[in-house]
Structure 1
């Protein structure tokens, strides 16, 4: 039976209560995630970023309290920078986004500087791909596209389409010097970068998933690769050493 949640605490009330009960002496705390962006659904949880100088290292933990699913991301006053660095290197700034968008629950004077770090990194964008990286990515997209085109097994074609969806979206974003993401953040990143393209992107794959039509996906992939030389197979080499 579906649980009645009409009388549960608001996201901010629940976040404030959780912090007061579990991290009352922390240096700072933020409420982030979909509830802050106005994108919450029935299954949305509360994302809390906690900064606590008494912690020896970062950790993540999940709870169910006050009729909310709550995920906490706990850092001391320097360990969060390791996550900033790792997120920057994979061009998936999840930690930076949480800090940037987060609403202050508690602050002893440290939040502003951490938010500044996050905002500057988000504004500067990810590292630019090298020509060699683009070359390698073109090859693996081409290889997967060939498998997709040639597949006569529905299940195998779906697997190829799933891989293409991620590879090509990531390629489009990174070659436009934009942040990327995993799962729902991949399509969110596409929308933020180019709303019209993202609509075309989703529709092309929908045509395949619904009706088995491959043409729109193939045309889309070719259009994304075209500015960089198109499909790439002949002459590709990786790891070969000159003797």
Structure 2
């Protein structure tokens, strides 16, 4: 393949059900803004062929080492674009940070995304490394992290049960934090990847279909019926997996 060809000329054949119109748009953006790119991967809903009219483009771009690693958001042809820009030298550290944070954002983009440019084979190597790290799983919680999570979830669960049904703002806030901390602890217990936003329920159900569904259903019950009992019960079941609720006796060293 000609290393001097433009990104549009180096468009690879689709490997997924990607939206070809969005893939072409991503290639135009690369041609305009990053003609020096060493590689690029289209991620998110566009790569899966599930983009909505307002969906943004998630685009991971490999840059030469003399460039700067950064995250950048812009608008291109009327569509928001989120750019994950990493130099070739910085990419391994970005992957390791993903593993420590247990979310795997960049790892999943490289694993599941659609390669658009790869004239030197760097994207293929990065995808192979991403798959190795995803298969190995996220970094486990240290004992102190796990105990703190037990304590924090216990506090949120107690706050949820202690909030009056007519205190809806407080009740909903307590339910949100209970769900998030329970998801954090449950995915860690299973050595599974977690997520934020729309990815939280997806990762939660993948880690534990039964207890994950109980947490999500309980959260919905609080929202729709102001009843905290199912969510609190599901949170307590998560706590029982890791030693039970933690209240008195907890010590956090600074």
TM-score, normalised via structure 1 length: 0.88
- What is the aligned-residue RMSD (CA, Å)? 1.9
Map 1:1-243 onto structure 2 (within 5 A): 10-53=21-64, 55-109=66-120, 110-152=122-164, 153-239=167-253
Kept in 2: contact 1:55–1:75 (CA 8 A):
no
Aligned to 1:11, what secondary structure does the other structure show?
A: helix
Deviation at 1:128, TM superposition (A): 2.0
CA distance in structure 2 between the aligned counterparts of 1:160 and 1:115, rounded to whole angstroms: 39
Structure 2 unaligned residues grouped into runs of 5+: 1-18
Residues 87-127 of structure 1 show CA distances to partners (whole Å, capped at 9, x for unaligned) of 11111110111111221211122111111111111110012
Of 87-96 and 151-160, more deviation after overlay is shown by 151-160
Once the two structures are superposed, residues 58-114 of structure 1 have per-residue CA deviations (whole angstroms, 9 ceiling, x without a partner) of: 022223223322222222111122221221111111011111122121112211111
Residue segments in structure 1 that go unaligned for 5+ positions in a row: 1-7
Tell me the residue number matched to 1:4.
none
User: If the length of structure 2 is used for normalisation, what is the TM-score?
Assistant: 0.85
Q: CA deviation at 1:41?
A: 2.1
User: How far 1:208 moved relative to its partner?
Assistant: 0.9
Deviation readout 1:133-157 (Å, 9 max, x if unpaired):
3222111111111111111232222
Q: Deviations over 1:179-235 (max 9, x none)?
A: 112222211211222334333222111111111111101110111111222111121
